[in-house]
Structure 1
Amino acid sequence: MATTVRILGIDPGSRKTGYGIIESSGHRNVHVANGCLSLGDGELAPRLLKILRGLSEIIEEYAPEEVAIEETFVNRANAASALVLGQARGAAICAIAGSGVPMAEYAAAQVKVAIAGNGRAEKQQVQHMVKVLLNLQDKLSPDASDALAVALTHAHVRGTRVKTGIALSKAWG
């Protein structure tokens, strides 16, 4: 009998940070919660603090056993945006590190392959597959959908690693 593990997926952003929580047992994944930390505009430092505090509260409330976070996509054409996103991701990682919960990281293309079968899948395709995989009827925000996709990716990778006896590592591959 498969052990159930609670996984928190995070899609970091400097204006909105999505989160999604699932429980995974073997091939079965069940939706627990999802949402979005709306950080607004304005100075970056207070928004980063909201990410740190908000995710710390979510981790405390839902007590995930593992966390998966999306890696920052680096776009040479807009390096400033990538730097800001990296800072938002850093605030999220600090919340995870402060909780002591193990963390895994996945590139956006890895998530798209795991969920939609295509590393260049559109957001709508990923969102549709998340709803199908978790049997969800309600509308999902794009940020929450992406976070649930990260959690589902981790559940899949984790399940494969458990079956093959490979220890859980930071990255897929």
Structure 2
Amino acid sequence: MEKIILGIDPGTHRLGVGVIKKSGSSVKLISAETLQAPNKASLYDRLSDLYEKLDLLLDKFHPHEVAIEDIFVSENPRSAFQIGIARGVVFALCIKHGIKLFEYAPSQVKQTVTGHGRADKEQVRKMAGILVGSPLETGLDASDAVAIAVCHASQTRLKSLLSC
């Protein structure tokens, strides 16, 4: 069965989006892009802009499932809080469109895609491109989103194999 999976690397200025088609054990890249919000806009206006752009992509690709990266809390709690708000926008859109949403920790995505949970973004970009059969010549937000979609495809395949 073919399945369209949309991966999201959340952010309040840039939101990475990767769309793949999963067919059996293979995955193919459909689209990878970074949605950019206006730099000088308020948080509300940036989120509103990203909401509208992502809403259009959900209408365009009609994904069966959405995968999003879980929050990584670093030295800046304010940044983590704002990313949490951006994730809320994605959750709301998935509810609106009736699409099931799955969450993955950054280390799980890296482990699944590269075999190492502490891989850097360039390693993730390179391996995600290999796995989808197309070099990713996109920004790091978009390549991370593709990696998140690939991680979800891999995890759902593993779960289906284990349930037999």
**Shared fold (TM-score greater than 0.5)?**
yes
Corresponding position of 1:46: 45
1:1-173 alignment runs, 5 A limit: 3-41=1-39, 42-75=41-74, 77-137=75-135, 139-165=137-163
Q: Distance in 2 between matches of 1:51 and 1:108?
A: 22
Runs of 5+ in structure 1 lacking a partner?
167-173
> Could you tell me how far 1:137 is from its partner in structure 2?
3.5
Q: CA RMSD in A?
A: 1.2
> Could you tell me how far 1:149 is from its partner in structure 2?
0.3
Runs of 5+ in structure 2 lacking a partner?
none
Q: TM-score, normalised by structure 1?
A: 0.90
> Could you tell me how far 1:94 is from its partner in structure 2?
1.2
Residue-pair matches, total: 163
Q: Distance in 2 between matches of 1:129 and 1:94?
A: 31
Q: TM-score, normalised by structure 2?
A: 0.95
8 Å contact from structure 2 (residues 63, 99) kept in 1: yes
Aligned residue identity for 2:135: Q
8 Å contact from structure 1 (residues 53, 95) kept in 2: no
What's the % identity of the aligned pairs?
A: 35
Q: Distance in 2 between matches of 1:13 and 1:121?
A: 20
Q: Which contiguous aligned blocks of 4+ residues in structure 1 show a shift greater than 2 angstroms?
A: none
Q: Distance in 2 between matches of 1:114 and 1:131?
A: 13
